[in-house]
Amino acid sequence: MTARPRSLPWGALLWPTLLALCLLPGVLHRLVQPLSPGAPLTFDPPLWQLTLTHLGLVLLATGAVLLLGLPLAVAVTRPGREAPRALIETLVGLGQTVPTLAILALAVPALGFGWAPTLLGLIVYGLVPVVSNGVAGLLAVDRDLLGAARGMGMTPGQQLRRVEWPLALPVLLAGVRTSVVYNVGTATVGAALGAGGLGSPIINGLSQQNSGLVLVGAVLAALLALSLDALLGLVAPREQPPSG
């Protein structure tokens, strides 16, 4: 049986919607104006720039999360490292038990305002699903397959690259998608620290009691999260159809 072609994800329809709303703020203005009668909806910087700033924060944080999380997942899933694995999972899990605002507030005295404390908060918060899913995916690899790989003369590094990573990749990518979606929402808090992004209309709307501004920031952040999730879904490994 031949493999079925991958259908276009429904989330792909959100990308042009997000782009249109960023480049045509007048559309959003007309949609949300009833929520803020008499209050002007002004965006400085413009919406497209706020969206790019937000995207930059999320992508930088995701890159740092992968650089930290993947080696950790590999290191603690090697044979005989059960104790370090439990410790690392506990420490990483603290990132989501401590409120995000508390992490950001504690980071400000050391890092100041702007991107630095926001990125720290995003990295701490985003590590949990990446490390947890990476560990789960690597531990789920069939030990018989690893034994067969050793029997073929593969080194531990070759086993990791050729056997473990390909089999663990779907679970790992699910964790990456979760981390990215979390951080799109969490990055809105960074606007309170001067990091900019789509949290700026939300913060300004709350301070001005302007529901329209709050809705603009919330809608664009939600569209960005769904768009990134759909994009990552495109790179997920294809499911193999049953033979026969």
What is the rounded distance in angstroms from the CA atom of residue 58 to the CA atom of residue 204? Answer: 21
| Statement: residue 170 has pLDDT above 80 | yes
User: Does 48 or 131 have the greater pLDDT score?
Assistant: 131
Residues with Cβ within 8 Å of residue 158, at least 6 apart in sequence? 149
Is residue 24 helix, strand or coil?
Answer: coil
State how far the Cα of 210 lies from the Cα of 203, in Å rounded to an integer: 10
Read off the CATH number of the domain in which 135 is found: 1.10.3720.10
Least confident of 5-9, 17-21, 97-101, 228-232: 5-9
Confirm whether 173 is domain-assigned.
yes
Judge whether 115 lies within some domain: yes
Position 195 scores a pLDDT of 84
Model confidence at 40: pLDDT above 80: no
Residue 223 lies inside a defined structural domain of this protein: yes
Mean pLDDT lowest for which of 113-122, 179-188, 231-240? 231-240
- Which residues are within 8 A (CB) of 115 and not within 5 positions of it... i.e. 6 or more apart? 57, 190, 195
Q: What digits encode the pLDDT tens for the residues 13-26?
A: 666 666 666 666 66
Per-residue pLDDT of 78-108, as tens digits, reads: 887 777 888 888 888 777 777 777 777 777 7
pLDDT > 70: percent of the chain: 79
- For the ranges 53-57, 71-75, 82-86, 183-187, the lowest mean pLDDT is seen at 82-86
Bond into 45 cis (ω within 30): yes
Of the candidates 94, 96, 112, the one whose C-alpha atom is nearest the C-alpha of residue 190 is 112
Longest Cα pair distance anywhere in the chain, in angstroms? Answer: 75
| H helix runs in 25-160, sequence order | 25-32, 47-76, 82-97, 100-111, 115-139, 143-151, 156-159
* Eight-class DSSP state of 164: I
Q: 11: which DSSP letter?
A: G
Per the structure, the complete domain to which residue 157 belongs is given by 45-234
Nearest to 61 by CA among 169, 210, 197: 197
Instruction: Please write the tens of the pLDDT for every residue from 171-201.
Output: 999 999 999 998 998 899 888 888 888 888 8
pLDDT, residue 35, reads 67
> Is position 242 within any domain?
no
Q: Which two three-digit tokens encode residue 240? A: 């193999």
The sign of the torsion formed by the CA atoms of 87, 89, 95, 96 equals negative
Residue 15 is predicted with a pLDDT of 62
d(CA 199, CA 190) in angstroms, rounded, equals 7
In a domain, 171, yes or no: yes
Higher pLDDT, 8 or 106: 106
Pairwise CA distance, residues 187 & 173, whole Å:
21
pLDDT at residue 176, rounded to an integer: 92
For residue 58, being part of any structural domain is answered with yes
Average pLDDT over residues 35-57: 78
Q: Considering only 93-107, 144-158, 168-182, 229-243, which range has the smallest mean pLDDT?
A: 229-243
Residue 92 lies in a domain: yes
Most confident option among 5-9, 34-38, 139-143:
139-143
Residue 55: inside a domain, yes or no?
A: yes
Number of structural domains (the chain) is 1
